[in-house]
A and B are shown apart, each in its own frame.
Chain A
Amino acid sequence: MTTATHGAPAEDTATSLPRLLPRSGQQPEDWHAHTARHGRLPYRDRPGDLVLDLSAAGLTGRGGAAFPAHRKLSAVLDAADKRRRPPVVIANGAESEPASDKDATLLWLAPHLVLDGLQLAAEAVGADAAILYTHADRRNDVGRRLRQAIAERVAVRVDRVPVRLAEAPPRFLSGQETALVGHLAGGPAIPTFMPPRITERGLAGAPTLVQNAETLAHVALIARHGPRWFRQVGTRAEPGSMLCTIRRADGTPRVAEIPLGMPLKSLIASPDGQSAGPDRAVLIGGYHGTWVSAADAVRLTLDNASLAAVGARVGAGILITPPPDRCGLIETAAAVRYLALESAGQCGPCLNGLPRIAAALTEIAVGRQRHQTLADLERWAGLVTGRGACHHPDGTARFVRSALVTFAAEIDLHRRGRCSGTSKKPFLPIPRDSARTEEDWM
Chain B
Amino acid sequence: MLRDVSGINTSTALWYASRATGVVALLLMTAVLLLGLLVTRQGRLPGLPRFAVTGLHRNLSLIAVVFVVLHVLTAVADSYVNIPLTAAVVPLTSPYERLWLGLGAVSLDITIAVVVTSLLRRHLSRRLWRGVHLLAYASWPVAWVHSVFSSGDLRHGGLFVLAVACAVVVVIAVLWRLAAAGRDVPRAERVGNLMSALHHPMSALHHHRTPDATQNWAPERTGRP
Contacts and interface: CB of A to CB of B under 8 A. Distances in A.
Interface of A: 188, 190, 193, 195-196, 205, 337, 340-349, 351-356, 358-360, 362-363, 366, 368, 370, 372-373, 380, 383-384, 387-389, 434-438, 440-441
B190 A351 contact: yes
B217 A337 contact: no
A236 to B, nearest CB: 39
A441 B220 CA distance: 19
A388 B219 contact: yes
Given A348-B219, A355-B198, A358-B199, A343 B189 contact: no
Given A195-B122, A205-B125, A370-B207, A345 B188 contact: yes
A142 to B, nearest CB: 26
A384 B70 CA distance: 47
Given A193-B221, A346-B187, A351-B194, A359 B125 contact: no
Contacts of A360: 207
Nearest to A195: B122
A195 B123 CA distance: 10
A111 to B, nearest CB: 32
A340 B188 CA distance: 12
A435 B191 CA distance: 9
Query: Which secondary structure dominates where chain B touches chain A?
Result: helix
A434 B219 contact: no
B217 A362 contact: no
Interface of B: 122, 125, 186-192, 194-195, 198-199, 203-205, 207-208, 213-214, 216-221
Given A205-B125, A356-B198, A436 B189 contact: yes
24 contacts: A195-B122, A337-B195, A340-B191, A340-B195, A341-B195, A344-B187, A347-B219, A348-B216, A349-B217, A351-B190, A352-B216, A355-B195, A356-B213, A359-B199, A360-B207, A362-B199, A366-B204, A368-B204, A373-B207, A383-B214, A389-B219, A436-B189, A437-B189, A438-B188
A294 B191 CA distance: 34
A349 to B, nearest CB: 5
A348 B191 contact: no
Q: Max chain B CB contacts within 10 Å: which of A348, A363, A389?
A: A348
Nearest 3 pairs between A and B by C-beta? Answer: A345-B190, A359-B198, A355-B194
